[in-house]
Chains A and B, each alone.
Chain A
Amino acid sequence: MQGSTVDSGQTALNYQTEAIASGHHGEHPDHRIFGVIMFLVAESMIFLGLFAAYLTFKLNTPDWRPEGESELELLLPGINTLILIASSFVLHQGDSAIKKNNQAGLRIWFGATALMGAVFLCGQIYEYFHLPFGLKSNLFASTFYVLTGFHGLHVLFGLLLILGVLWRSRKSDHYNSEHHFGVEAAELYWHFVDVVWIVLFTLLYLL
């Protein structure tokens, strides 16, 4: 490189100690969390693309929610939304618990989150069966079902992650204040699903 040389004080000397520990065939926890974040960036882009498509359809269609279907009941999805948002906070308690080596706390809070997530999904399915329009009724209905359905799949996946953490935490030494990558990854994912829902809810129900 033009002119700039390497700081020799920093080069090979501590390679053995540091880089081998992290560059080895095992997966370093720091790297894994960073990897999860990258994955969530990719996921966000799928949703961003779908949201952009939704907005374009909406802006180009004169009566976006056709007569007779204009009433999207807000009560049920509203409650659902509150449950999902609350669950993010509940889940965070579990993460704090394990950082204090509190295994029981982890199980309780994660169990509660799983329950709330399941309630959300049931609510969504209940709503699907009681809406006055179907997947192919019109463009609005199609985007509504595809977007909420795609999000629902993400909730389901997040739920599975949480259940996976619960399953593993049966063994009392599986997670502790030092090693809790699984806990953190599930938490990050769940927050992500939550944030996406808030945007989705605003777009589909409120605007």
Chain B
Amino acid sequence: MAQTQVPPEAAKAAHATGNGGPEWRKYISFSTDHKVIGIQYLVTTFLFFLVGGALATAVRTELATPQADFVSRELYNSLFTVHATVMIFLWIVPAGTGGFGNYLIPLMIGARDMAFPKLNAVAFWMIPPGGILLLSSFFVGAPGAGWTSYPPLSTVSGQAGEMIWILSVLILGTSSILGAINFLVTIIKMRMPGMGYNQMPLFCWAMLSASALILLSTPVLAGALILLSFDLIVGTTFFNPTGGGDPIVYQHMFWFYSHPAVYIMILPMFGMISEILPVHARKPIFGYKAIAYSSLAISFLGLIVWAHHMFTSGTPAWLRMFFMITTMIIAVPTGIKVFSWLATLWGGKLRLNSALLFGMGFVSMFVIGGLSGIMVASVPFDIHVHDTYFVVAHLHYVLFGGSMFGIYSGLYHWFPKMTGRMLNETWGKIHFVLTLVGFNMCFLPMHWLGLQGMPRRVAEYDPEFATINLVCTIGSYILAVSTIPFIINAVWSWIYGTKATGNPWQALTLEWQTASPPPVENFYDEPVLWSGPYDYGTDLLQPGEDKSVEELLAEVNANPG
């Protein structure tokens, strides 16, 4: 606690990243600066989010009425397939890991860049072609077998589109593996001296766990897709029972990736929320170690529960018990996190700005999704609601409610660091309210639809479900509209927003100890670990006292020790 240096003054912030040429140019170049790459990821994936959102609106428009009158049934299948693929492989996974991971990790551990800057750029530049390839499939008959691409359906229908789906997922998967290698090496090898694992910001713990999951599970998906493409192109019968093959093997391989994938998506959000809540609650995080180690526990458990997606696939009863129990055990580390976050908020001096609102939105939406997760984890209940809208509700609460609120929270929190400008709070709050209302209006009623037996992935349905579906569709429109204030806010603020200081939130992690935006190699002087990341000078601050970090640092400097 006795480190006695002051972070670089705001004076140096004036000439932050200038290295000639218009500022925006570097974002369309093959840059090897992790900060540029991080922003490239965030902007690109956000564009794909808008594409995925447009597809979702089309899906919901079709479902506004019970008949399939808006698009054909084939097109409907393609719409929800490409929608899900875009959202998962082109938005949440790359934004959470590639976007925030790249931007934040080197800054948070006091490194000048990622371990392999060129590899990093290569990983990013696989995303746009992969995404464009996927979308181009609409010209040849887009894939329509769902984002799970189960055979035999995927090998009999829409061959060209299905092949494009496989190729683009392979490209995106490779990108994510290359990224994970980079994160693992960076976090393990490049922490600044003095930063042990237990001084590491929680976001880094989360990224460490997520990267390990990517490394261990994504390749198995690649294996499944290689076999699937042989079935598709050459006509082998790996997954085709008529030739002695077994479609269930595909399901196992697919879910061995895709269950961990949900944690690949959510762990970075867990990490970000663990950063954001203490800063805006002005209170140390509750249970640092519990949160850190529970990320590892989630990774490990996440690897062994995949077959809870296959309760109705003829999985033997004893095996279903195993997967049911292990799945429910994941609720323990997850619950530990949730309780730690609540305890962090409890009695804090909350700054109710957009970052914290979205952060709390994240926690509450994720809790709802987690609870329905426990429900579907129990075999008898799952057999009842499997492939109904209940599952759609569950997965959207965790994925969309969880990940998207998490990403937005992160964007509001780190925007000043990334751009050197503050976002507008009023627009941020409008954005939050619209998102919260639209989201719940769209997805909450789906629980009822599912319990009453409305199947998922169908373009037309029994008229008795019409009213609820209409409500959902209106909700989805509100959700679509909710992105507008954010886009206006982000673009406007990036250009004209109030200038941000190096540390506008008085946060304690290292990324705030440099200018906003940080200079090319992140730190002018060596950054200083003057306390653990979340101490908030608790041992310096008297009860009832409210001091900025600068004041506290000055105090520490005055009487070291």
Write the residues of chain A forming the contact surface with B, with a CB cutoff of 8 angstroms: 1-2, 4-8, 10-16, 18-20, 22-25, 27-28, 30-32, 34-35, 38-39, 41-50, 52-53, 56-57, 60-61, 135-136, 138-139, 142-143, 146, 150
**Docked complex Cα distance between A142 and B237 (Å):** 8
Residue of B112, B189, B237, B252 near A31 (CB, 8 A) is: B189
> Known contacts A34-B188, A139-B237; is A150 also within 8 Å of B115 by CB?
no
- Closest-by-CB residue of A relative to B237 is A139
Q: B162 an interface residue at 8 Å Cβ cutoff? A: no
Nearest Cβ on chain B to A203's Cβ, whole angstroms: 15
Q: B117 to chain A: which residues have CB within 8 Å? A: 25, 27
Q: B184 an interface residue at 8 Å Cβ cutoff? A: yes
The reply to whether A15 and B532 contact each other, CB–CB distance below 8 Å, is no
**Docked complex Cα distance between A19 and B112 (Å):** 9
- Closest-by-CB residue of A relative to B224 is A49
Q: B288 to chain A: which residues have CB within 8 Å? A: 1-2
Given contact pairs A6-B195, A13-B193, A38-B184, a sample of 16 additional A-B residue pairs in the complex whose CB atoms are under 8 Å apart = A1-B288, A12-B5, A23-B190, A24-B112, A24-B113, A25-B113, A27-B118, A35-B116, A35-B182, A42-B177, A45-B219, A47-B223, A53-B224, A57-B246, A139-B237, A139-B244
- Closest-by-CB residue of A relative to B183 is A38
The reply to whether B112 and A20 contact each other, CB–CB distance below 8 Å, is yes
- Closest-by-CB residue of B relative to A35 is B185
> Known contacts A46-B219, A146-B230; is A11 also within 8 Å of B185 by CB?
no
Q: B129 an interface residue at 8 Å Cβ cutoff? A: no
Q: B530 to chain A: which residues have CB within 8 Å? A: 6, 11
> Known contacts A28-B115, A139-B243; is A1 also within 8 Å of B237 by CB?
no
Within 8 A of A (CB), among B519-561: 521, 526-535
Q: B245 an interface residue at 8 Å Cβ cutoff? A: yes
Q: A143 to chain B: which residues have CB within 8 Å? A: 238
> Known contacts A4-B198, A4-B532, A25-B117; is A45 also within 8 Å of B237 by CB?
no
Within 8 A of A (CB), among B192-211: 192-195, 198-199
What bracket does the count of chain B residues touching chain A fall in? 35 or more
The reply to whether A150 and B226 contact each other, CB–CB distance below 8 Å, is yes
**Docked complex Cα distance between A30 and B186 (Å):** 12
Residue of B112, B188, B245, B535 near A25 (CB, 8 A) is: B112
Q: A6 to chain B: which residues have CB within 8 Å? A: 1, 3, 194-195, 199, 529-532
> Known contacts A12-B527, A14-B193; is A46 also within 8 Å of B533 by CB?
no
The reply to whether A1 and B198 contact each other, CB–CB distance below 8 Å, is yes
Q: A138 to chain B: which residues have CB within 8 Å? A: 243-244
Q: B215 an interface residue at 8 Å Cβ cutoff? A: yes
Q: B75 an interface residue at 8 Å Cβ cutoff? A: no
Nearest Cβ on chain A to B356's Cβ, whole angstroms: 21
> Known contacts A41-B216, A42-B177, A139-B245; is A1 also within 8 Å of B193 by CB?
no
Listed A/B pairs (10) with beta-carbon separation below 8 Å: A5-B1, A6-B532, A8-B1, A8-B194, A11-B529, A11-B530, A13-B193, A34-B188, A42-B177, A142-B236
The reply to whether B528 and A53 contact each other, CB–CB distance below 8 Å, is no
Nearest Cβ on chain A to B128's Cβ, whole angstroms: 23
Q: B532 to chain A: which residues have CB within 8 Å? A: 1, 4-6
The reply to whether A23 and B112 contact each other, CB–CB distance below 8 Å, is yes
**Docked complex Cα distance between A8 and B193 (Å):** 10
B503-531 Cβ-contact flags toward A at 8 Å (1 or 0):
00000000000000000010000111111
The reply to whether A57 and B181 contact each other, CB–CB distance below 8 Å, is no
Nearest Cβ on chain A to B286's Cβ, whole angstroms: 8
**Docked complex Cα distance between A52 and B189 (Å):** 33
B111-123 Cβ-contact flags toward A at 8 Å (1 or 0):
1110111110000
**Docked complex Cα distance between A130 and B287 (Å):** 65
Residue of A20, A42, A142 near B238 (CB, 8 A) is: A142
**Docked complex Cα distance between A34 and B3 (Å):** 32
B218-241 Cβ-contact flags toward A at 8 Å (1 or 0):
111011101100100011111000
Nearest Cβ on chain A to B206's Cβ, whole angstroms: 15
**Docked complex Cα distance between A101 and B134 (Å):** 50
- Closest-by-CB residue of B relative to A56 is B249
The reply to whether B1 and A35 contact each other, CB–CB distance below 8 Å, is no
Q: A14 to chain B: which residues have CB within 8 Å? A: 193
Q: A1 to chain B: which residues have CB within 8 Å? A: 198-199, 284-285, 288-289, 532-535
Q: A57 to chain B: which residues have CB within 8 Å? A: 238, 245-246, 249
- Closest-by-CB residue of A relative to B528 is A12
Q: B32 an interface residue at 8 Å Cβ cutoff? A: yes
Q: A142 to chain B: which residues have CB within 8 Å? A: 230, 236-238
Q: B118 to chain A: which residues have CB within 8 Å? A: 27
Within 8 A of A (CB), among B137-194: 177, 180-182, 184-185, 188-190, 192-194
Q: B124 an interface residue at 8 Å Cβ cutoff? A: no
Q: B289 to chain A: which residues have CB within 8 Å? A: 1-2
Q: B219 to chain A: which residues have CB within 8 Å? A: 42-46, 49
B13-32 Cβ-contact flags toward A at 8 Å (1 or 0):
00000000000000000001
Query: Lowest 9 CB-CB distances: which A-B pairs, in order?
Result: A1-B532, A49-B223, A49-B220, A11-B194, A45-B219, A15-B526, A10-B194, A1-B288, A46-B219
- Closest-by-CB residue of B relative to A60 is B246
Q: B256 an interface residue at 8 Å Cβ cutoff? A: yes
